[in-house]
Amino acid sequence: MTEIVVIARLVPDLVEELEIAPSGTALDLSWLRLIINEFDNHAIEQAVILKEKTGANVTIISPEAEGVEDMLFTTAAKGADRLIKLTGIDEEKPTNESLAQTLAGIIKEINPDLILNGVQAHDDIAGDLAPQIADLLNLPYVGYISGVSIEGGQAKAFKEYPGGILAEMEITLPAVLGIQASEEPPRYVAISKVRQMMSTTTIEEIAGDGLATENNFVIDRMYLPEAAEKAEMLEGNEEEVAQKLTAILQDLGLL
């Protein structure tokens, strides 16, 4: 049976205003709301789709964070078979380097055919996680994948290239893939199903060994961008604004 591992992380929700911690080099965690990294959500969906098609076994690994249990139970409600929470994480996010090393160790034990991860996380300052794990396990990595199937010992995937061009790739398994979009949009899971999972599924805990929070380069400061020169807002009712805009376009010689 095909083994699939998905690494899913929670990231700061950009719906809320972000604040800088007093240290000046990190985000203020008290104001942070965490949500699942949307790309990881797609990776989970892709794994479940593969399971539905080929009968694979799906394991989700997630570093400890506020709300991670809910997220893991939701993946179980979608069809994930095994849930692992990586513990030993304090408030501060561990570096991708140390996280990659710890996860590589855990994944090696599982010995999967395919490892999926969302192609990027917007709060990553030090590289992307999945390619680092790929190198540690000496596995190939391809990112910006939007559709995977498994045939023989190979993955057939569609990779996005610049300019809206898609390419068909053949990747020898085992491999690590960075998912941009799942074949079908992530499904909705009813809350009652998630709650049902809470009483019938367990989350395994594995202690993280050697997790570090200091990056291997120096961050001078983290700050909010200066209120950028915002656009000149055109005021008035719809007709007035339409007139103003038309005048602007005429002045620019665009009409």
Partner 1 sequence: MPEQVEYWGIPHQWGSPNILVYSVMFLAGAILIFRFFLQARIWWKVGRSEARWNKLHLRIWNVIKYAIVQTRVLRQKYPGIMHVALAWSFFIFFLGTALATINVWFIKFLVGPVFSIYKLTLDVFTIVFIVGAALAIIRRYVSKPDRLTYQPKFTWTLVLLVLIVLGGITTESLRLAVEKPINMLWSPLGWTLAQIWIATGASDTVLINTHLGIWLIHLFSAGITIITLPVGSLLHVLTGPMNIFFAELDRPIGTLPPTPANQEGVPIYVSKLNELTWKQILNGEACTECGRCQDACPAYGAGYPLNPKEMILGISEVLKDAKSSPKGYDVSLLENSKLSTEVLWSCTTCAACITECPVLIEHIDTIVELRRHLVIEGMIDAELQDALTNLGRYGNSFGQSPRKRAQWTEGIDPPVKDATRESVEYLWFVGDYASYNPSLSELTAKTAMVLQKAGVDFGVMFKGENHAGNDVRRVGEEGLFEMLAEKNIKALERCQYQAIITTDPHTYNTLLNEYPFAEPQTILHYSELLLMLIKEGKLKFTNPLNVRATYHDPCYLGRYNGIYDAPRQVIKATGCDLVEMPRSRDLALCCGAGGGRIWMEEGKVNERPSESRIHEAAALDSVDYFVISCPKDYTMYQDAVKTTGHENDLYIKDLIDLVAEAL
Partner 2 sequence: MTQDIFVVIEHIQGQVSDISYIMIAAARELAQAQGGNVVGIILGSGAENLKDSLAADQVIYCDHPALAEFSSDACKRTLLSIFTEHDPRAIFFGNTTIGSDICSSIATHGSYPVINSCIRIAEGGAITSQICGGKIMVDSQLADKTTILTMIPGGYKPEQGQGGPPTETINFSPPDLENLKVKLVQFIEPVPGDVDIAQEKILVAIGRGIQTEDNIELAEELAALLGGTVCASRPVIDQGWLPTSRLVGKSGKSVKPDLYLSLGISGATEHLEGILESKTIVAINSDPDAPIFDVAKYGIEVDLFDFIDPLLEQLESAKNG
Window 72 to 131, contacts with partner 2 (CB under 8 A): 96-97, 100, 119-120, 122-131
- E strand or H helix that includes residue 68: helix 68-78
Token output for 240: 């007035």
Work out how close the CB of 114 gets to partner 2 at its nearest, in angstroms, rounded to a whole number.
13
Residue from 136, 203, 206, 212 binding partner 2 (CB under 8 A): 136
x/- string (CB under 8 A) for partner 2, residues 142-181? xxx-------------xxxxxxxxxxxxxxx--x--x-xx
Q: Which of 116, 138, 131 is nearest to 7 (CA)?
A: 116
Cβ at position 195, least distance to partner 1 in Å: 6
Residues 6-35 touching partner 2, rule: CB under 8 A, are 12, 14, 18, 20, 27
Q: What part of residues 194-253 is at the interface with partner 2 (CB under 8 A)?
A: 215-225, 228, 230-234, 238-239, 241-243, 245-246, 248-250, 252
- Closest of 38, 42, 41, 16 to residue 29, by C-alpha: 16
User: From the list 70, 81, 135, 183, which residue makes contact with partner 2 (rule: CB under 8 A)?
Assistant: 135
| Closest distance of CB 123 from partner 2, Å | 6
Quote the Cα angle for 183-189-195, to 5°.
145
Q: How many residues bind partner 2 (CB under 8 A)?
A: 80
Q: How far is the CB of 209 from partner 2 (least distance, A)?
A: 18
Is the Cβ–Cβ distance between 43 and 118 less than 8 Å? yes
The rounded distance, in Å, linking the Cα atoms of 126 and 216 is: 9
Helix/strand/coil for 78: helix
Nearest approach in angstroms of CB 55 to partner 2 is 25
Q: How far is the CB of 119 from partner 1 (least distance, A)?
A: 21
Instruction: Pick between residue 17 and residue 232 the one whose CB is nearest to partner 1.
Output: 17
Residues making contact with partner 1 (CB under 8 A)? 13, 15-17, 33, 35, 185, 187-195
Place of tokens 């009968």: 55
From the list partner 2, partner 1, none, pick the one residue 212 interacts with, judged by a Cβ distance below 5 to 8 Å according to partner type. Answer: none
What is the 8-class DSSP label of residue 177? E
Number of Cβ atoms within 10 Å of the Cβ of 202: 9
To which residue do tokens 């809350």 refer?
191
Nearer to partner 1, 108 or 195 (CB): 195
Three-state secondary-structure class, residue 27: strand
CA–CA gap between residue 31 and residue 18 (Å, rounded) = 7
